[in-house]
Amino acid sequence: MKVVVLTGGVGGAKFVLGLQHCAEVAQLTAIVNTGDDFRHLGLHVSPDIDTLLYTLSGQANAMQGWGREGESWNFMAALKGLGGPDWFNLGDGDLALHVLRTERLAQGETLSTLTAGFAQAWGIAASVLPMSDNAVATWLETDEGALPFQSYFVERQCRPVTRAIRFEGAEEARPAPGVLEALADADAVFIAPSNPWLSVDPVLAVPSIAAALRAISAPVIAISPLVGGKAVKGPTTKLMAELGIDADNEAIARHYAGLVSGLLHDSGDTPPTSVPAHSTATLMTSLDDKIRVARGAIAFAKALKA
Amino acid sequence: MKVVVLTGGVGGAKFVLGLQHCAEVAQLTAIVNTGDDFRHLGLHVSPDIDTLLYTLSGQANAMQGWGREGESWNFMAALKGLGGPDWFNLGDGDLALHVLRTERLAQGETLSTLTAGFAQAWGIAASVLPMSDNAVATWLETDEGALPFQSYFVERQCRPVTRAIRFEGAEEARPAPGVLEALADADAVFIAPSNPWLSVDPVLAVPSIAAALRAISAPVIAISPLVGGKAVKGPTTKLMAELGIDADNEAIARHYAGLVSGLLHDSGDTPPTSVPAHSTATLMTSLDDKIRVARGAIAFAKALKA
């Protein structure tokens, strides 16, 4: 079975890891949000791609939810001592990704080829594709003015009230090589339980990715990020409230209306009525949890296809 | 007493540290070789400036001779795992200097202003001045072809046979702000016991620095890098042999002919005859050694002035 996942960082990566452990998934492609990418200290940081790489190679820091297991922080300590900016944490080992990426992009390599190189170096069998090799930047219009994603998410810890979200450069962005091919060839497409507005929408904002999703005949299933009417992590429900949207699965289904053929949601939550729904326990703490959600998604896709 | 030192990295930094501990040195300026500066992994590395900063702030790794005490190496381990270049070691804490420097240079700051900022952050009283804010690059013509300094020094560990040395950009380089003022104002100028051909010559290759040295009336004293006819560290004598120069103090004195008024050399070595000479034990292991050599240089300068 050929499976494609549209995904953001932490929550999405857990789901992709679950899929990686499903024997029936013969080919796995993750199309990853790059709207969070930014330059910090001159370095090109791709947070969601890195979370995928760390998670799929077994190097992710499980407690922290981002970065590397066993990371050290001597760069940050020295940086603070020199009066450098300390609002965004860069681990010592993590820096290798950012420094190499920055250097290779400057030499003319693309984000997709160098991401493939990193995945190969770490023995990752899945294809990890940035949604685009072109720069797309997520901006939030807030009560504190327009903020780039990381300033909102990390520096201000999601405190500003969001009025609108835009994806700079998305209209002109081309999908990275392999993205459209993987979608056209997929037996099932999943939208990971990432934040629909901040992590999935940038991917869907690339016009030909949304068009490809609408055109394919394979089932497209979104996994709801809500568990008990709340997001497991991050500002999803705060954001929904600020945008005047109810925090329920019906709202998630409507958000993806016209794109998805079904919604997989948590057993404890009310299903949507506007699309076919299927439920399982969607909280992913252990590896078994992740595999259970992945299997639930696959079973639902098969049922919809039959 | 206002003292100026022309210096390279490790050996020179030890001498400058000795001067920093001499009560009679009221004002201390180090004019530092930047011919070893290079871009590595997109980062601007200034090895000699950093060695001065680490040494004068008490953070230098004494055993290793370069880098920081208590350094960790997780960046390098991760870099190797990703197939990145591993011939030049960048410590985790050390990276903070390189990343900040690269970022601030890209924003239009000069090497001299940001070096002053680092020195201030670390509580260094001495002025640490790059010889120039313009790029000067030391190249070696060897039996393996033309090599930039770090490729020769670190990657090939000084193994190639050197035929000539040149300092790209030196002819057009302007001294960094404060360099000529410090020289004009000095009561004594010292040339540190750094490699005359690789570490001091780049400084002297900046035309107005050499001209300023020739013009001043204060004593200019070179400290010989030879101890027992050998360099304490590095390729000085190997290089002298390859360039057809005897490894003795007469050769050192002749190298600096017209620029220096005296040579301070090790008590165990034969003094030069072409310039006034003074001797002390010049091997600098302990802090007391460094202070002794610094005091010897000051006493010699006073004697020449009287």
Length of chain A in terms of residues written: 306
* Number of A–B residue contacts, CB under 8 Å: 102
Q: Which residues of A touch B106 (CB under 8 A)?
A: 42
Count of CB atoms situated within 10 Å of the CB of B146? 13
DSSP one-letter code for B275? S
For residue A125, give how far its alpha carbon lies from the nearest alpha carbon of chain B (Å): 16
The H or E element that residue B280 is part of is strand B277-280
**Is-contact A304 A219, C-beta < 8 A?**
yes
Sign of the dihedral defined by the CA atoms of residues A277, A281, A282, A287, in that order: negative
Residue A233: pLDDT above 90? no
Q: Say if B47 falls within a structural domain.
A: no
* Residue pair B109/B127 in contact by the 8 Å Cβ criterion: no
* Per-residue pLDDT tens over the stretch A61-96: 877 777 899 999 999 999 999 999 999 999 999 999
Return mean pLDDT, chain B: 96
B56 in a domain, yes or no? no
CA A184 to chain centre: 20
Start-to-end C-alpha separation, chain B? 14
CA A230/CA A155 separation, integer angstroms: 23
Distance from CA of B9 to the nearest CA of A (A): 21
Other Cβ atoms less than 10 A from the Cβ of B136: the count is: 23
Distance CA B136, CA B149 (A): 11
Per the domain annotation, does B149 fall within a domain?
yes
Give the N- to C-terminal CA distance of chain A in Å, as an integer.
14
Round to whole Å and give the CA distance between B66 and A54.
32
Residue B232: the pLDDT is 80
* Average of per-residue pLDDT across B61-84: 90
Which residues are within 8 A (CB) of B48 and not within 5 positions of it... i.e. 6 or more apart?
B7, B8, B9, B12, B13, B32, B33, B34, B36, B199
Dihedral sign from CA coordinates of B235, B237, B243, B248: positive
- Chain B residues within 8 A of A96 when measuring between CB atoms: 75-76, 78-79, 81-82, 84
pLDDT of residue B67: 84
Mean pLDDT of chain A: 96
Q: How many domains does chain A have?
A: 1
The confidence band for A7, taking pLDDT boundaries of 50, 70 and 90, is very high
Enter the DSSP assignment of A155: I
User: Confidence band (pLDDT; 50, 70, 90) for B248?
Assistant: very high
Cα–Cα distance measured from residue B263 to residue A84, given in angstroms and rounded to the nearest whole number:
42
Report, as an integer, the average pLDDT of B166-184.
98
Mean pLDDT of B193-198: 96
Predicted confidence (pLDDT) per residue in B130-174, tens digit: 999 999 999 999 999 999 999 999 999 999 999 999 999 999 999
Q: Do B75 and A81 touch (CB under 8 A)?
A: no
CB A90 within 8 A of CB A98: yes
Count CB-CB contacts under 10 A for residue B235: 20
Q: Which residues contact A243 (CB under 8 A, 6 or more apart)?
A: A162, A163, A197
Residue B285 within a domain? yes
State the average pLDDT over residues A101-117: 98
Q: Can you tell me the mean pLDDT for A173-180?
A: 98
- pLDDT tier at B63, thresholds 50, 70, 90: confident
**Given phi > 0 = left and psi -120 to 50 = alpha, else beta, which region is B228?**
left
**What is the interface pTM, i.e. ipTM, of the complex?**
0.91
CB contact under 8 A, B118 and A82: yes
* Bridge partners for A39 per DSSP: A44
Show Cβ contacts of residue A302 under 8 Å, excluding neighbours closer than 6 positions.
A188
Residues from chain B contacting residue A75 (CB–CB below 8 Å): 75, 92-93, 95-96, 99
Long-range contacts: A170-174, Cβ < 8 Å, 24+? Answer: A170/A35, A170/A136, A170/A202, A170/A205, A170/A206, A170/A207, A171/A205, A171/A207, A172/A134, A173/A131, A173/A132, A173/A134, A173/A135, A173/A136, A173/A205, A173/A206, A174/A132, A174/A133, A174/A134, A174/A206, A174/A208
Q: Residue B51 falls within a domain, yes or no?
A: no
Of A41, A96, A106, the CB nearest to B75: A96
Chain B contact set for A93 (CB, 8 A):
74-75, 77-78
In a domain, B276, yes or no: yes
pLDDT tens for each residue of A243-265: 999 999 999 999 999 999 999 99
Does the pLDDT value for residue B62 go beyond 90?
no
For residues B165 and B198, the answer to whether their CB atoms sit within 8 Å is yes
- Cα separation of A75 and A81, whole Å? 10
pLDDT at A64: 75
CB-based burial label for A270 (10 Å; 0-12, 13-18, 19+): middle
pLDDT in tens, B27-55: 999 999 999 999 999 999 999 999 999 99
Segment A91-113 mean pLDDT: 97
Question: Could you tell me which chain A residue has the CA closest to the CA of B119?
Answer: A82
CATH code of the domain containing B154: 3.40.50.10680
Nearest CA in chain A to B92: A75
Give the chain B residue whose CA is nearest to the CA of A106: B42
Q: What is the mean pLDDT of residues A24-35?
A: 98
* C-alpha–C-alpha distance, residues A48 and A67, integer Å: 10
Facing A82 at nearest CB: one of B42, B102, B121: B121
Neighboring chain A residues of B75 at a CB cutoff of 8 Å = 75, 92-93, 95-96, 99
Secondary structure element (H or E) that encloses residue A4, with its range: strand A2-7
**pLDDT for residue B306:** 78
Please give the pLDDT value at position B186: 98
Residues of B with Cβ-Cβ distance to A95 under 8 angstroms: 75, 78, 92, 95, 99
Is residue B40 included in any domain, yes or no?
no
Q: For residue A283, what are the domain limits?
A: 2-305
Contact B92 A100 (CB under 8 A): no
Q: Over 90: is that where the pLDDT of B231 sits?
A: no
In this prediction, residue B268 carries a pLDDT of 95
Band of residue A305 on the pLDDT scale cut at 50, 70, 90: confident
B95 contacts: CB under 8 Å, gap ≥ 6: A75, A78, A92, A95, A99, B43, B75
Cα B203 to Cα A68: distance, rounded to the nearest angstrom: 43
> Which residues have CB under 8 Å from A176's CB, separation 6+?
A110, A111, A112, A129, A130, A131, A132, A133
Split at pLDDT 50, 70, 90, the class of A220 is very high
pLDDT at B188 over 90: yes
Predicted confidence band at A10 (pLDDT cuts at 50, 70, 90)?
A: confident
Segment A262-290 shows an average pLDDT of 96
For A183, residues 6+ apart whose C-beta sits below 8 A from its C-beta are A4, A31, A189, A209, A212, A213, A216
Across the interface, whether the CB atoms of A75 and B99 are under 8 A apart is answered: yes
What's the pLDDT band for A306 if we cut at 50, 70, 90? confident
Residue B78: which of A77, A93, A103 has the nearest Cβ? Answer: A93
DSSP state letters, B177-230: TTHHHHHHH-SEEEE-SS-IIIIIHHHHTSHHHHHHHHH--S-EEEEP-EETTE
Q: Which residue of A has its CA nearest to B117?
A: A82
Residue B296: inside a domain: yes
- Residue A230 pLDDT more than 90? no
Distance CA A290, CA A140 (A): 31
For residue B211, pLDDT over 80 is answered with: yes
Q: Average of pLDDT values for B274-297?
A: 96
State the Cα–Cα distance between residues A111 and A49, nearest whole angstrom.
10
Please tell me which of the candidates B92, B93, B102 has its beta carbon nearest to residue A42: B102
Q: Would you call A9 exposed, middle or buried from its count of C-beta atoms within 10 A (0-12, 13-18, 19+)?
A: buried
Query: Of B116, B117, B119, B113, nearest to B133 (Cα)?
Result: B113
| Arithmetic mean of pLDDT, B194-217 | 97
Asked if A283 and A170 touch (Cβ cutoff 8 Å), the reply is no
B contact set with A (CB within 8 A): 41-43, 68, 71-72, 74-79, 81-84, 91-97, 99-100, 102-103, 106, 117-118, 121-122
Residue B160, SS3 per DSSP: coil
Place of tokens 């506007």: A274
Kind and range of the H or E run holding B155: none
**pLDDT (tens digit per residue) in A118-161:** 999 999 999 999 999 999 999 999 999 999 999 999 999 999 99
Residue A302's pLDDT band (cuts 50, 70, 90) = very high
Question: Taking an 8 Å Cβ-Cβ cutoff, which residues of chain A contact chain B?
Answer: 41-43, 68, 71-72, 74-79, 81-84, 91-97, 99-100, 102-103, 106, 117-118, 121-122
Distance CA B151, CA B67 (A): 18
Identity of the amino acid at A295? R
Q: Would you call A95 and B100 a contact, using CB atoms and an 8 Å cutoff?
A: no
